[in-house]
Structure 1
Amino acid sequence: MKPIYLLIGLLIIATTSCKSSKSVASQAEIDALHTMVTNKQFRIVSDWAYPQVTNAMQQVLSSGLLQPGSAGGGINLIGNTNFLRVSGDSITSYLPYYGERQMQVAYGGGDSAIEFKGLVENYKAVQNEDHSYTISFEAKSNSESFNVYIQLSPNLNSYMTVNGTSRHTIRYSGEVKPIKPLK
C-alpha cells in the first residue's frame, strides 16, 4: 500500500513542478518596443548566425576554420561587425553571410556580406498577442534582392531570416536597440 502512495505523491510533484514559466514583459518594455517599431527607428546587432546546413556548409563547420563556439549550424558573431538599421523608410545593413551562393558573385568577391543601403519596400509590421512584432520587408543590395523577416520581442531579442535571390537562407539572432532619428 505504501508504494502506491509514494507513486501517487511523485506523480503529483512531477506534474505540478513542470509548469512552463511564461515570462511576462513589463509595460515599459512593451511601450519601448512599440515606439521603436512604429517610428521605424531601430538597430539590430546579431550574436549568432544560423546558415542553412548543406553538405558543403557542414564540411566548413567540421573543418575548424570558424571561430571558437561555432558548431552545428550556429556561428558565433560576437566580436564581428554586423548590424541592420531601419531609420524611417531607409535601411542600412552589414550582415556577414555564411552559406552557399547559388549564382553571381561580384568580381573580386566584394559582395560576400549582405549589405543594404537604400529604401525599404513593402514594409509591414504586425503586433502579435504576446506584444512581440513580426516585421517583413524587401531590400536590395548592388546585385541582389532580399526578403527579410524579423521577430522582435519586448525583452529586445531579435530573430531575423534573410532570403536572397542568389543565396541560401540564413537566420540571425541578437538584440534590437532604439536609435535616435537623424536630423
Structure 2
Amino acid sequence: MKTLKNLIFIFLAIFAFKVNAQTDKATTTKIVEEKNYTFVATSAMPLNNTDINNILSRMPGNTGGGNINLSGSSYDVRITPDSIIAYLPYYGRAYTAPLNRDDNGFKFTSKDFAYTSKKRKKGGWEVVMNTKDTKDSPRLTLSISENGYGSLIITSNNKQSITYNGYLAENAKKD
C-alpha cells in the first residue's frame, strides 16, 4: 500500500512539474538571448548535510531527501540587461551570522555583474552570473532547458552552496 502511495505521489509530482512550464522553445530562446527573464524557484535543495536533514525531517510536509517545496511562494531571480534582482530563501550552513535577521537568504540587487551565456550541445543554456557589488559576491549558475525549466546553483563566500529548481518566465513589458 505504501508503495502505491509513493508511485501516485511521484506521478502527481511529475505531472505538476510538466504543467508548470511557462515558456515554449521559441520564447525561451528569445528571453535568454535578450537577457530579460525571471527564474521562478519551485524547490530548494541544500547540500546533503546531516544537520540540515535532521531539521527538515521535523518540518511539516517533509518529503525527505532534503528537497524543500517553494511552490506558491514568490521566490525568484529577475534578470534584465542592466540588473539582477534576487529574492530567494536560504537553507543550509552559514559561516558568519547576519547582524540583521532580515538579511537571511539571498536578497540583493546587483547593477555591476558579469553575465556569460553558452549554448549546450544537447540543447539549452548554461548561464553564469558573477555579482560584483553585493555582499558576499554570490555566483549564480543557471542551467536552462529548451522548454524553460531551470536549475540554479548559488555559491557564496559565507554560505554553503544551494540548488534551486524552477522555471523561466518572461518579464512583463514596460509601457
* TM-score tier after normalising by the smaller chain length: 0.7 to 0.9
In the alignment, which residue of structure 1 is the partner of 2:32?
A: 37
Distance verdict in 2 for CA 1:109–1:142, change over 3 Å: farther
**Equivalents in 2 of 1:51, 1:163: separation in Å?**
11
In the alignment, which residue of structure 2 is the partner of 1:145?
A: 137
Tell me how many residue pairs correspond in the alignment: 153
- Can you list the C-alpha shifts for 1:104-152, whole angstroms capped at 9, x where unaligned? x222322111012022522100111233010001126753210110011
SS in 2 for 1:115: strand
**Equivalents in 1 of 2:46, 2:87: separation in Å?**
16
Gaps of 5+ in 1: 1-27
1:54 maps to which of 49, 70, 73: 49
> How far 1:46 sits from its partner (Å)?
1.1
Cα RMSD, aligned residues only:
2.0
Q: Is the 8 A contact 1:87 1:181 kept in 2?
A: no
Question: Structure 1 residues 169-178 or 109-118, which shifts more?
Answer: 109-118
Structure number with greater Rg is 1
SS in 2 for 1:116: strand
> Could you state the TM-score of these two structures normalised by the residue count of structure 1?
0.76
Q: Is the 8 A contact 2:113 2:133 kept in 1?
A: no
**Equivalents in 2 of 1:85, 1:170: separation in Å?**
18
Matched, 1:90 2:105: no
> How far 1:75 sits from its partner (Å)?
0.5
Question: Structure 1 residues 122-131 or 91-100, which shifts more?
Answer: 122-131
SS in 2 for 1:117: strand
Moved >3 Å (runs of 4+) = 180-183
Gaps of 5+ in 2: 1-22
Distance verdict in 2 for CA 1:163–1:131, change over 3 Å: same
AA partner of residue 34 (structure 2): N
Q: Is the 8 A contact 1:44 1:175 kept in 2?
A: yes
- Output aligned runs, 1:11-160, within 5 Å: 29-62=24-57, 64-65=58-59, 67-103=60-96, 105-139=97-131, 143-160=135-152
In the alignment, which residue of structure 1 is the partner of 2:164?
A: 172
Q: Is the 8 A contact 2:88 2:106 kept in 1?
A: yes
Structure number with the bigger relative contact order (C-alpha 8 A, sep ≥ 6) is: 2
> Could you state the TM-score of these two structures normalised by the residue count of structure 2?
0.79
Identity of aligned residues (%): 22
